[in-house]
Chain A
């Protein structure tokens, strides 16, 4: 009853092409933004802001990046962790070498550097696809991992890279002493802006070219899409998002990290987010990130909240088991991810409570 678009007529193409053409979606989005920008920072505890929200936000950004590449362009990548490492290391180096550079610019330039690296490792995608491409991107992951561990220049000869304290408008936003809400706002601003840009990209000409390549590359070529530039652009933008996410991860979440934090497990984690959230959906990237980030936290805290006397070891094992079972459950219920479930729910709601 609530979600019914009857009576909402569009009289021009601008309204029909709007990002949220249905009024209920616009209201829903406004509520989400209100929560994100006002209510959560006002009432959330430091733990909630830092451990849950910032964690969720930078993973969302990485998931959007991978979704552009895997979900929209159909190129499977296992190099996300590597590209995030490029972003993190680049932002660390930039912040150290240019102390006066604004942190916003540092993050953006790091993203561009990651994009350049992404283009290089995207070159094989013209010739190979599917599992073979996944293996080729795996090479990116291992090479970048190795590079940052072994070449001292990247870590300034220390074992860890650090989030250098920086200010925006006089507020300390990074480093160990920054207030959680300041960090939260930086992460939220980045994610809000770049999620919007990603959504715009995928619903305009370049997004259609990506999906054309994904759905049928031969037909894409006969309508004039040049495969290599289109795929490389997807790699570049995807790596840009991963790079910025890596910078946020280092500067806003970990403060100090060894380069091997960005290992193959991180790549898999982001890939799972994209698959569980829904391939080819920006909203799905958020849902997937929320699922993978929050479920373990909820499961860890559940025994305490329920007052169950379980040893911490057992709790940890149970967490893994339940988490794995949940993933399997969701993939069986809807192989196309949470975003598709959400869409089906919306279609059902249009008719509810009537059968048809």
Chain B
């Protein structure tokens, strides 16, 4: 048995309030493609960030070619020969591909005074040839397709003589043809003895491309398996495999209730493709899917934050033209963003103002003055009814806990009399106790007759809360499940169901 290229053992990493990695293990051999799989938040990316020096481990050892190493920063990883292609690309769009490749180590001439661009392009062309890239290295990166930008990232990582290449969801934004190009390149690198760590949610791709798989769950190492001997079902059950929450919801889906919202053929680029569904009064409709499945994008279309390419939206049976969020709000649609601090709240302002902000018209006197007293009164009502824990309505929102901030946003939309509420990851960053309160609140809102769409990446949460569940993958609805029949396995099945399609040709 030869020495593994990378061996990580007993890796521990904690962030304030989260034990992100627990006694993790990972082994990578030269010339293999090794999948790292797990649900969102299982710790895959964190583990790889430890390996590339973005995070420092709290405990554990990393061996590189058998020798124990410390990787305190990204530069150290680079020098060892560990390269990473991030989910979000790290390139300079205004520079050419070649300039990007050699940023920070440009060839020079005239005693270092001038850049030697001829050599720069010659070196870049050589690298491009080695990787069989057939576009010009003096194209501006911003003018390249995402796939080619990714190729540039890969070329950049390899130009540091990387023997370990980590790819975090590299196919998320690619078309089938582009994926083939990427796979061809990966196969070529494998033959050259590069060890590739491949993070992806797409089961068929993993089955096809990888040699081994390591499964992680809740920050722990679960198992390493030979891909060829393992079925997709087995992998999914290993990924999910935790105790299921008891399904505590009492309310049955109301089959005969009025439809409050109907969406037909909603599309926007590749992010949202032909999405149709309806939402009933008093229903909690869960939308499940992996990151990048198009759930948030769909919500943004309904809320008017982005313009759809096609599709119709009906509220209470009436067709709406939604030109922007103001139109959506006027028709009683409220959107609670997954990123509360950026899109949901004015964190430097007080509770009362945040609750009132979408309904200012109501708090204005005939002369145009703001009526502070009635804003206070309104805020106090919601602080009571939503049980927002705050010293008072004049407290600055940023000093509240995540759960209470979420309640302030809910209060804002209730003040506005919204009867359709879209919750995007309503419990992200909220601690366990407060989560239960938010769940209770959602149940109560549904019981009052609000129509609720809940987007969530946490399967237990979706299962516990939803009367009905839609599953999305790559911008499409791939499944619809009733609350009773849904299981984590079934949802994961739909969520990884890629639909192969003839490729949209685009330069």
Asked whether A and B interact, the reply is no
